[in-house]
Amino acid sequence: MAKSHDYILDVARAQVGPSLIPGLSLLAAHGNDVFATGLGQLGHGRGPVRRDSIFRIASTTKPITASVILSLITEGRLALNDDVTTWLPELSSLRVLRRPNGALDDTVASNRAITVRDLLTFTNGFGMATQMFTDPTPWPIFVASEVDLSLATLGPPNPNVQPDPDTWIARLGTLPLIAQPGARFLYNTGAAILGVLAARITGSSFSDALRTRIFAPAGMTDTGFFTRATDRLATAYRSSPDGLVVYDEAVGVYSRPPTFEDGGAGLVSTVDDLYSFSRFLRQYGRGTIDPALIAQMTSDQLTPAQKVDGAFGDAFFFERSWGYCVAVGNDGSWGWDGGLGSSFWVQPASDVTVIVLTQRVWDSPDLPRAHQEIREAAMEVFS
């Protein structure tokens, strides 16, 4: 007998509890068959999670950022191989560290300028790498970026400390690159730069560019860099030796406009908005994005050399690679996750989409078991 939606629900329920995940919202869809629900609590002493509950989606922001850039390329406002210093002169005359963990003044000249494509593929020469967090001595570039300049781009999102976009990009431009443009995959910062780029090109805020080009046509009514609907925003939790502790209250960081609208990790959203976004992309932005660009976005865009010395090591590229701000599987699936508790996955071959939003910060870089088991359950039901 074929399994029903109840099977997905039972698998999800087993992951919810005070010491597990306090609450989650999920959506699993196969064609027009859509199952969505909320489980658990928004936070201690608060109401239940519902389908329309709002969560911090962290790095699931990245494919949304890429999509607005692709819409601008489709309009002819820029091109993949364009030098970004046309709009971001702060990134002119960059130097490159001789060694990623070396002194900031031990540099060589950059071989070439950073391109739009470099930013989309995270081969722009600056970003996160696992070694930053495993080496016994902090890398000087990490200290400069995160401690001295408050860029919050080589670690967890931190809207509390980031300066305004013009100051942010100016500070970034004072730092050397970690690698030559195009040489290797380094995570996160490319998407943050894309947000500044979109604002410069459109002459508006990044949030306005997203609203007019993505949110409105896709029907994403609850996605933004903050929300005033704090009664629907889940409390965020993280692990500690004493159990789960509050990471961010509902009336906290994401209840007010940020100074820097971070294209790498700044949005809040709902399962239905992210599902609408997935449909929007699969329909080529309903005429606003060139189908060829969507095909590139959701397929492998890295060379073997870029993967060998990639941000997360060879294991990250087991049965997957990277497109434009999304992970792409060897099986044709695509999507991306967020370390504050989100996962977003589309399998076009099976016409299956699975979105899981929780308020528990990940304990490691690996997809949490709850997300993986819900995804597997959905595939069993819809296969």
Establish if 194 belongs to a structural domain: yes
pTM as predicted? 0.96
* Same domain as 170, residue 136: yes
Mean pLDDT of the chain: 96
Average pLDDT over residues 292-314: 90
* Same domain as 375, residue 233: yes
Q: What is the domain extent for residue 341?
A: 5-59+211-382
* Same domain as 273, residue 177: no
Has residue 237 got a pLDDT over 70?
Answer: yes
* Same domain as 196, residue 218: no
* Same domain as 74, residue 154: yes
CATH number at residue 237: 3.40.710.10
* Same domain as 353, residue 215: yes
* Same domain as 346, residue 224: yes
* CA–CA gap between residue 239 and residue 304 (Å, rounded): 36
Establish if 206 belongs to a structural domain: no
Judge whether 138 and 198 are in contact, CB under 8 Å. no
Has residue 323 got a pLDDT over 80?
Answer: yes
pLDDT tens digit sequence for 90-142: 999 899 999 999 999 999 999 999 999 999 999 999 999 999 998 999 999 99
Has residue 183 got a pLDDT over 70?
Answer: yes
* CA–CA gap between residue 83 and residue 96 (Å, rounded): 17
State whether residue 10 is helix, strand or coil.
helix
* CA–CA gap between residue 49 and residue 65 (Å, rounded): 27
Nearest to 270 by CA among 114, 5, 65, 37: 37
Radius of gyration of the chain measured on its C-alpha atoms:
20
Residue 285 confidence (pLDDT): 84
Angle between helices 271-282 and 61-74 (to 10 degrees): 30
Nearest to 122 by CA among 59, 73, 53, 211: 59
Establish if 256 belongs to a structural domain: yes
* Same domain as 373, residue 224: yes
* CA–CA gap between residue 336 and residue 334 (Å, rounded): 7
Identify the residue whose tokens are 């809040």. 268
- Provide CB contacts within 8 A for 367, sequence distance 6+: 337, 343
Has residue 284 got a pLDDT over 70?
Answer: yes
Residue 371 confidence (pLDDT): 97
Q: Provide the number of structural domains found in the chain.
A: 2
55-56/320-322 β-pairing: unpaired
